[in-house]
Structure 1
Amino acid sequence: MLLGCIGDDFTGSSDLGNTLTRRGMRCVQYVGVPEGPATADVEAGIVALKSRSVPVAEAVRQSLAALDWLRAQGCRQFLFKYCSTFDSTPEGNIGPVAEALANALGARRVLVCPAFPATGRSVYQGHLFVGDRLLSESGMEAHPLTPMTDPDLRRWLSRQVGGTVGHVPFADVAAGADAVRARMRTEDAAGHRLLVADAIRDADLEVLGRATAGLPLVTGGSGIALGLPGVFRDAGLLADTAGAWSGQSGPAAILSGSCSRATRAQVARHAETDPAREVHADDVMAGRISPAELAEWARTQEGVPLIYTSADPDAVRAAQDRHGRAAVAGAIEALFAETARALVAAGVTRLVTAGGETSGAVVEGLSLDRLEIGPEIDPGVPMMRAGADLVLALKSGNFGSPDFFAKAVRMMEAA
């Protein structure tokens, strides 16, 4: 294994796998820290954790355990992957995990770059944009678990770490990899270990990836990986043999737990043509709805059934105020995990999920241990094979076109 990756959720990890696979690396996503060794043909291994919203100490523990396993596989470089909207609180978890990994590896000059312009995320003057809006005006300020109210990544990250945070400005990135390396050395000499890097074009991410050649640790969104396969290829280390992929026939279903603007628009579009059933948090907390009932409803529908809790953020906050944020999140995740099991037991062979927490709950609920990365559906979202008769699409809340659900179901069936 050449590149060892640690993802803080399942959808982000599949996004990263999509990037690496498209760039020619044989990639496997593992669900949690594996117990045994990887197979010899894996060039990039992704350990997908569910650590984005857990307590800081637990996120650090899980991440270091993943690092230990990846080091045992002989990886030459490590990547900590987090969301392209930098989902975190003022306490963590991005900063503490990045610092812990850097300490374990003795790493300095550690890039921090969540940008991925192909999906509308860019960093300029250290500020994160979603499309033409600052992060704090993009809808992420209303996220129920990690509200992002400050787009200045240097300032936000400085609240989370013990050290100071540096910057690699766009002028250096535009000048090329040598200029980036020089700037990183300057920032290192000034005492900054974590370095927020600007990137407004995918080509900038290529530059950043190549500038980190030989450095033990890189952090960022999946876009930061655009330039990494080329470094390994130039060194003659990639086999450049693509794996085979085939579609999956059979029933399909969709589970959505994201309340992002993009997902709510996708839910509305799908409900225009196919059956859709909203699940309310109050009903879940009161035990008025069961996974068996939801699976039976889905089984009896014409078209592709969608089960969703993708409510308006104000409604989500109201439910959290009544029952407690952690209690609501845990109950809904448990409901989706059990519903996914019931759907697959009833014969569903194509399952689409929306939202990082939802996707993580579903993957854990299905007791999956590894996922093979397949073709891309939309930027950042690949198809993934979980076994001989099950194909998944794990979509981050903010990703995908308005017709994503119909497109995913169609593409997952095609050869």
Structure 2
Amino acid sequence: MKNQRKAMAVIADDLTGANDTGLQFSRYGLCTEVLLEGAEPGPASAADIVIWDTNSRAIDGQAAYDKVQAAVRQAQQAGFTRYYKKLDSTLRGNVGIEIKAILDMGLHDFAFVLPAFVQTGRTTVGGNHLVQGVPVEATEIARDPKCPVTESCLPALLQRQSGLQVAHIGIAELTGGPAVIDAFVRRALAAGCRIISCDGWADEHFDLAARTVAGISSQVLWAGSAGLADCLPAIFNWNDKVREQTPALVIAGSVSSVTREQIAELLAGGCELVEIEVAKYLPWQEQSALPLLAAISKKLAQGTCLVIATGYQPAAVEQTKAAGAKLGFSAVEVSEITATMLGWIGAQLVNSQKLAGIVLTGGDTAVAVCRALGVTGIRILEEVTTAIPLGTMTTREGKTLQVITKAGAFGKPGDLLQAVRKLQQ
């Protein structure tokens, strides 16, 4: 990693957990070092990520508290300012106690806790922590000889062990999108909560929740399994690989209020809006849009996720209709011309740019883009969220790319942002 030192100190309670979390950072090119219990980083250490194994999972709570604070003091002396508390993905050990140990040092505003690890079947739904879909207290983990877990409710476990007030980001907040999560967390903090725990049953929840929380405070104690650790390099832009992430393209032909709200969430999530004033391009001639196409292509080449829209501003719709009427076009004809324009622009960008994928919202828009690309069908792969499919399509030129389609006046505020995140994974 270039020109970035002391990115994050990780405090783990056992060696294997330390190593699997270290892997999440090292695969992004971060220089990562794991220290066994009692070891200290050398004075010339060039590691970006240093992981302290306190070997404290199966010991007395007070002893674990003391070990964690000792490790944090070492990390402070080494120059670290960001901290990650590695948790077991089945909640074994002194989870709440060790989080409290770090919070008590006064370095953080609050702890954000997301222990799920979807790839290994550990999820949290409605506050209940599950292993392969079964509450953890009903699995063999409850009979672990050293660290039995007899509480499946994550916020209850954290509050009991830490003695601190806990608020939980649940199903309603995650499905509501960034604005809902942001408002919920701010209310919880104002009410005195020091720990914010979070559901997680799909990969996109990690980036969605963590990115929102990162926008609330720069002094967050991150706490979770390897799953949460995996999304942090992208959030903090810690290496060239992440900064050069392939952009996604959203083309929104729908003029519904639902789509406008979804676009607003996209913009809040870091996407950039290119609103096309269709009235300027009537009657439609491809040649007239070449300067606009060049400007859009430049942004995509720089790695910027874009949303191209024709009706984000409500007044633009009426202006387009009025301009079309002056030229003798009916409202239906203007709508068809708009779809043709978006289809042509989308096809040019897909053929010329490297994209993580494309999101098409509005039926007419989706068909126009597919026809302009010479696509004859879409292979459906999975559901991104309710009734929003991810698939692949192959263009006339033989280029295969991911595509997500969504009806215009449909979905929750965060659905388009969730679609973009899915493509970039």
Q: Give the TM-score range, shorter chain.
A: 0.5 to 0.7
Structure 1 position 165, deviation (Å): 1.5
Q: Corresponding residue for 2:201?
A: 200
Asked whether the 8 Å contact 2:28–2:241 carries over to 1, the reply is: no
Q: Is 1:58 the equivalent of 2:63? A: yes
Asked whether the 8 Å contact 1:168–1:197 carries over to 2, the reply is: yes
Structure 1 position 182, deviation (Å): 2.7
TM-superposition CA deviations, 1:299-347 (whole Å, max 9, x none)? xxxxxxxxxxxxxxxxxxxxxxxxxxxxxxxxxxxxxxxxxxxxxxxxx
Equivalent residue for 2:226, pick from 206, 222, 225: 222
Specify whether residues 177 and 228 from structure 1 end up closer, same or farther in structure 2 by C-alpha distance, changes over 3 A only. farther
Specify whether residues 177 and 13 from structure 1 end up closer, same or farther in structure 2 by C-alpha distance, changes over 3 A only. farther
Q: Corresponding residue for 1:398?
A: none
TM-score scaled to structure 2, two decimals? 0.52
What is the SS of the residue equivalent to 1:87? coil
Specify whether residues 73 and 216 from structure 1 end up closer, same or farther in structure 2 by C-alpha distance, changes over 3 A only. farther
TM-superposition CA deviations, 1:340-376 (whole Å, max 9, x none)? xxxxxxxxxxxxxxxxxxxxxxxxxxxxxxxxxxxxx
What is the SS of the residue equivalent to 2:104? helix
Q: For 1:226 and 1:177, how far apart are their aligned partners in 2?
A: 19
Equivalent residue for 1:17, pick from 18, 22, 27: 22
Specify whether residues 47 and 36 from structure 1 end up closer, same or farther in structure 2 by C-alpha distance, changes over 3 A only. closer
**Unaligned segments of structure 1, at least 5 residues:** 242-415
Structure 1 position 33, deviation (Å): 4.4
Structure 1 position 138, deviation (Å): 2.1
Letter in 2 for 1:190: A
Q: For 2:43 and 2:125, how far apart are their aligned partners in 1?
A: 38
What is the SS of the residue equivalent to 1:25? coil
Specify whether residues 9 and 177 from structure 1 end up closer, same or farther in structure 2 by C-alpha distance, changes over 3 A only. farther
Letter in 2 for 1:41: A
Specify whether residues 153 and 80 from structure 1 end up closer, same or farther in structure 2 by C-alpha distance, changes over 3 A only. same
Higher RCO (CA < 8 A, seq sep 6+)? 1
Asked whether the 8 Å contact 1:24–1:229 carries over to 2, the reply is: no
Equivalent residue for 1:44, pick from 49, 56, 63: 49
Structure 1 position 49, deviation (Å): 1.6
TM-superposition CA deviations, 1:103-127 (whole Å, max 9, x none)? 2134233112210101100111111
Structure 1 position 176, deviation (Å): 4.2
Q: For 2:41 and 2:213, how far apart are their aligned partners in 1?
A: 29
Q: For 1:55 and 1:80, how far apart are their aligned partners in 2?
A: 18
Letter in 2 for 1:160: Q
Specify whether residues 171 and 33 from structure 1 end up closer, same or farther in structure 2 by C-alpha distance, changes over 3 A only. farther
TM-superposition CA deviations, 1:281-310 (whole Å, max 9, x none)? xxxxxxxxxxxxxxxxxxxxxxxxxxxxxx
Q: Corresponding residue for 1:117?
A: 118
Asked whether the 8 Å contact 1:169–1:198 carries over to 2, the reply is: yes
| Bigger Rg over Cα | 2
Task: Give the share of equivalent positions with the same residue, in percent.
Answer: 26
Structure 1 position 209, deviation (Å): 3.0
Structure 1 position 37, deviation (Å): 3.5
Structure 1 position 168, deviation (Å): 0.9
Asked whether the 8 Å contact 1:7–1:49 carries over to 2, the reply is: yes
Specify whether residues 18 and 35 from structure 1 end up closer, same or farther in structure 2 by C-alpha distance, changes over 3 A only. closer
Letter in 1 for 2:182: R
Q: For 1:229 and 1:148, how far apart are their aligned partners in 2?
A: 31
Q: For 2:74 and 2:175, how far apart are their aligned partners in 1?
A: 36
Structure 1 position 152, deviation (Å): 0.7
Q: Corresponding residue for 1:292?
A: none
Q: For 2:224 and 2:137, how far apart are their aligned partners in 1?
A: 19
Structure 1 position 101, deviation (Å): 0.4
TM-superposition CA deviations, 1:221-270 (whole Å, max 9, x none)? 1211122111232xxx43659xxxxxxxxxxxxxxxxxxxxxxxxxxxxx
Q: Corresponding residue for 1:135?
A: 136
TM-superposition CA deviations, 1:164-189 (whole Å, max 9, x none)? 22111133234444543332211112
Count of aligned residue pairs for this structure pair: 234
Specify whether residues 215 and 173 from structure 1 end up closer, same or farther in structure 2 by C-alpha distance, changes over 3 A only. farther
What is the SS of the residue equivalent to 1:79? strand
What is the SS of the residue equivalent to 1:167? strand
**Unaligned segments of structure 2, at least 5 residues:** 1-5, 243-425
Q: Corresponding residue for 1:156?
A: 157
Structure 1 position 55, deviation (Å): 1.1
Letter in 2 for 1:47: W
Structure 1 position 31, deviation (Å): 0.9
Letter in 1 for 2:80: C
Asked whether the 8 Å contact 1:43–1:238 carries over to 2, the reply is: no
Asked whether the 8 Å contact 1:170–1:197 carries over to 2, the reply is: no
| Mapping for residues 334-353 of structure 1, pairs under 5 Å | none
Question: What do you get for the CA RMSD once the two structures are aligned?
Answer: 2.1
What is the SS of the residue equivalent to 1:205? helix
Q: Corresponding residue for 1:304?
A: none
Structure 1 position 39, deviation (Å): 4.2
Q: For 2:118 and 2:71, how far apart are their aligned partners in 1?
A: 28
Specify whether residues 36 and 195 from structure 1 end up closer, same or farther in structure 2 by C-alpha distance, changes over 3 A only. closer
Q: For 2:213 and 2:30, how far apart are their aligned partners in 1?
A: 18
